[in-house]
Structure 1
Amino acid sequence: MSDQYDVIVAGAGPAGAQCARDLATRGYDVVVLETEAEDVFPKTSNKSTAGTFPSMITSFGVPDDVVMNFTDKVVLESPNHHYTRNHPGAVLEFADFKRWLVEAGREQGAEYRFDARVTAPIMENGEIVGVRYDGSEEVRADITIDATGPSAPLAKALGVSDLRRENHAIGIEYELTGVDLDHPDFGDLTDAMMLRLDHDLAPGGYSWIFHTGADEAKVGLCYIQNDSHRENAREGFSVDDYMDYWLDRDPRFADAERKEGIQHRGSAHIQMPDRLSTDRFMAIGDTVPSIDPVWGEGIHKGMKSARAAAITVEACLDKGMTDTSAEQMSVYDRLWHRDVAPNQRRRLLMTELLYLAGNERYDRFMEDLNGLDERTMRKLNSGNPLAIAKLLHLDDIPLLKEFVREKVAVDLDGIIPKPVNKQRSNASAAFEFE
């Protein structure tokens, strides 16, 4: 093993492993440091619902054998209604997917060091030149990339990470057999990914059922402990209690059984990133967070951020003309905002507004969606203001006033802006939490 590389990647999740794969394909010497031991990987990091779409599958050459089920529709539910949109997708076996990425990177020449917990950056003249792991072990590189997710030990030490507690979503998921996927009281969930907006089940968040084949499904819920959660929460309920509450009351689970030993717990942050890079350093995936706030899809966003980071490495280390200054590294920032998460701020605002609504408004929302044409739906999904306006009604004015008051609040002096209340952030991270 060498002590000097072109690039160090901390973390072997989808973003980190894809970045290493891209870099090794380009001929760079890259080493990946992963906390877990290889013989159990990914045991503690197997936290993703792993719902994704064809664009990710084709862009990154994901093989069919890591897909549990190809789906053909997305279903949105409210307490009493539902909306179905034909849209192809895929539910991955997340552990198999992560192991495939590691092997694909190794085939290109990437080096992996498992059981290697990154603890701190090595700093010289105010810049990161490597990392310490497992306490006293060291490795150095021209560029370091943090792909450790919310723990972000390097990004935090360098002042790049700004993950805020009030934007932290928590979730739980089981894999069930014996699920009634076509119950007469609900929409047909055969070959579907379903998201349910219902404060009774997931106050300040939502729940989901992803069909994985036969009568089996991934079933879970997620929420942020925001104002909406506090207003609708059941006293003393934990995320586990809400899961049990749903399973006990939904007739689709009357004959369902949990797969033994399979339980996924995870978290993610839903917010705009502040910084993405600095001298000799970038942060990718959920370290900065890259999750789509509308659909909650995070794998594709994370892997696109990995590809943007690999392109940036090439721009900084091209043909031996090394320039790893913050200015040159900011190529990554521009690529992130252009290609990874365009319109991210608008999509965050749209989903924050959505989570202010109550259950009755969710029912009406489903009715409105069923009245929209496909062209308007595409515009709505991209955050188009005119498309969003078609879902608003006169009796939404108090809700809009509350939303605006929180986002642009001004103190009594009328001069100093109040801090933005980030506690209204949406909890759609459940769709893809890592």
Structure 2
Amino acid sequence: MNDSFDVIVAGAGPAGAQCARDLATRQYDVVVLETESEDVFPRQSNKSTGGTFPPMLATFGIPDEAVMHFTDTVVVESPNEHFTLKQAGAVLDFGAFKTYLVEDGQQKGATYRFDARVSKPIMESSEIVGVQYNGSKKVYGDIIVDATGPSAPLAKALGVSDLKRTQQAIGIEYELEGVDLDTAGYANLTNAMMLRLGHDYAPGGYSWIFHTGGDTAKVGLCYIQNESYQRYAETRRTVDGYLQQWLDTDPRFSTADRIEGRQHRGSAHIQAPGSLSTDNFMAIGDTVPTIDPLWGEGIQKGMRSGRAAAIAADQCLIPSEPTTTAEDLSLYNELWHTEVAPGHDSRLWMAELLYLASNDRYDSLIRDLNHFDAATLRKMNNGNKLAIAKLLRFDDLSLLVQFVKHQFST
């Protein structure tokens, strides 16, 4: 007999593990194929800053034990200005978070196979019917979900994923102790998550300081090697070099030391999604990609995409005669655009326009943000074009022309 399941999920990241949790809760026979070994999981894939917000914890039932530190404010910083917003947040222990999702899914009935590297889809009559892993091993399923992130071996083979190298962001993060969180001349970052715009440390991207309790913090940066990077970057300086430059020149780190073994690297694509699904198949999480293009939030978006895929699979499998065609699974596409990442295209062009701006324009942007009320700020963050227009200045005309030229060239 074939080794078969209702649903196969490739990848045990937040999106894949959440999809499996939801399906197992509904009593479906689901298997998760994870590349890492069970005895080290998630050592190699513990790559996220893990900044999120309490509604996500409540929505997905995440316990406080997976949180390193709860925060009270979000700070947006430019080279010479800062803006502070009262907003409760949570900095996750990303390893503990992923472990919880897996263990909870197993308790609900999901099967996990570790040391299982997915290589390609098994096809019959031009449709995916299973997955090949670890060389010649095979497993079959009614629905297959690719949650492997940018590697996307299944989504790429099926033409669902179109991840562009030119839109790939790379990042690095250290965990530090001895950080001065209340340095004169800077915003107080005690119990805060800070995002910094500035090409001196993150050309064409952003950097961050997330307080993790006491005098410790997660400190990192990421950027896309795109037009903005080419314009502002220093020749041959690596992402490691930019982070080290920040640590060497920012007085908040003058007495800080790296915590041994707490270094994280990662990558994600900042672009519009592909087709998302096809017959018997859905792509979720960073495979899509799902990450928020403006501020880089990936955890909540990934979890929501996993839940949306589980809802679509449930609709297909619950009838007495299940059907899993592309049309049946199109519910996932609908949920992705309306519930997972509404306004994704608007937020994408906002991010591309933002990263084209200069450091001086970042300073004036932060000064402007300090004059808006909370309702207007929420509209801006949600991609409301009329609200965003309030941030534009006459001097931005040349920036808009550059942005339009870039859109037509890509």
Flag whether TM exceeds 0.5 (same fold): yes
The Cα of 1:320 is off from its aligned counterpart by: 2.6
Instruction: Indicate the SS of the match to 1:319.
Output: coil
Instruction: Indicate the SS of the match to 2:212.
Output: strand
Say whether 1:273 aligns with 2:270. no
Q: Name the aligned partner's letter for residue 268 of structure 1.
A: A
Mapped to 1, the partners of 2:294 and 2:203 lie a distance apart of: 17
**Share of identical aligned residues, percent?**
66
Length, aligned pairs only: 410
1:218 aligns to what?
218
Q: Name the aligned partner's letter for residue 96 of structure 1.
A: A
Superposition map of 1:278-317 within 5 A? 278-317=278-317
The Cα of 1:195 is off from its aligned counterpart by: 0.6
| CA displacement, residues 147-191 of structure 1 (integer Å, 9 cap, x when unaligned) | 000000000011101000010000000000000001012000011
TM-score (norm 1): 0.93
2:174 aligns to what?
174
| CA displacement, residues 87-120 of structure 1 (integer Å, 9 cap, x when unaligned) | 1110000000000000100111000000000011
The Cα of 1:319 is off from its aligned counterpart by: 3.1
Say whether 1:83 aligns with 2:77. no
Q: Name the aligned partner's letter for residue 137 of structure 2.
A: E
Q: Name the aligned partner's letter for residue 248 of structure 1.
A: D
Instruction: Indicate the SS of the match to 1:347.
Output: helix
2:30 aligns to what?
30
The Cα of 1:128 is off from its aligned counterpart by: 0.6
Mapped to 1, the partners of 2:393 and 2:161 lie a distance apart of: 39
Mapped to 1, the partners of 2:283 and 2:110 lie a distance apart of: 19
- Any runs of at least 4 consecutive aligned residues in structure 1 with deviations exceeding 3 A, and if so which? none
Q: Name the aligned partner's letter for residue 45 of structure 2.
A: S
Mapped to 2, the partners of 1:283 and 1:306 lie a distance apart of: 9
Mapped to 2, the partners of 1:88 and 1:30 lie a distance apart of: 35
Mapped to 2, the partners of 1:23 and 1:405 lie a distance apart of: 45
1:50 aligns to what?
50
Give ranges in structure 1 of 5+ residues lacking alignment. Answer: 410-419, 422-434
The Cα of 1:2 is off from its aligned counterpart by: 7.6
Say whether 1:401 aligns with 2:401. yes
1:235 aligns to what?
235
Mapped to 2, the partners of 1:314 and 1:227 lie a distance apart of: 43
Instruction: Indicate the SS of the match to 2:230.
Output: helix
Instruction: Indicate the SS of the match to 1:330.
Output: helix
1:369 aligns to what?
369
The Cα of 1:318 is off from its aligned counterpart by: 1.2
Say whether 1:144 aligns with 2:141. no
The Cα of 1:337 is off from its aligned counterpart by: 0.6
1:378 aligns to what?
378
Mapped to 1, the partners of 2:389 and 2:49 lie a distance apart of: 31
| CA displacement, residues 174-214 of structure 1 (integer Å, 9 cap, x when unaligned) | 00000000101200001110011110111111110000000
Q: Name the aligned partner's letter for residue 62 of structure 1.
A: I
Q: Name the aligned partner's letter for residue 293 of structure 1.
A: P
Give ranges in structure 2 of 5+ residues lacking alignment. Answer: none
Mapped to 1, the partners of 2:155 and 2:233 lie a distance apart of: 33
| CA displacement, residues 347-368 of structure 1 (integer Å, 9 cap, x when unaligned) | 1111111111000000000100
Instruction: Indicate the SS of the match to 1:142.
Output: strand
Whether the 8 Å CA contact 2:145–2:283 is kept in 1: the answer is yes
Let me know the Cα RMSD of the aligned residues. Answer: 1.0
The Cα of 1:295 is off from its aligned counterpart by: 2.3
| CA displacement, residues 258-281 of structure 1 (integer Å, 9 cap, x when unaligned) | 001111000000011121000000
Instruction: Indicate the SS of the match to 2:255.
Output: coil
Say whether 1:118 aligns with 2:118. yes
TM-score (norm 2): 0.99
Mapped to 2, the partners of 1:382 and 1:302 lie a distance apart of: 18
2:319 aligns to what?
319
Mapped to 2, the partners of 1:350 and 1:201 lie a distance apart of: 21
2:92 aligns to what?
92
1:413 aligns to what?
none
Q: Name the aligned partner's letter for residue 236 of structure 1.
A: R
Mapped to 2, the partners of 1:158 and 1:9 lie a distance apart of: 15
Mapped to 1, the partners of 2:319 and 2:398 lie a distance apart of: 59
Instruction: Indicate the SS of the match to 1:355.
Output: helix
Larger CA deviation: 36-45 vs 398-407: 398-407
Instruction: Indicate the SS of the match to 1:371.
Output: coil
Q: Name the aligned partner's letter for residue 327 of structure 1.
A: E
The Cα of 1:405 is off from its aligned counterpart by: 2.6
Mapped to 1, the partners of 2:285 and 2:200 lie a distance apart of: 31
| CA displacement, residues 193-247 of structure 1 (integer Å, 9 cap, x when unaligned) | 0011110111111110000000000000111001111111111100011111000
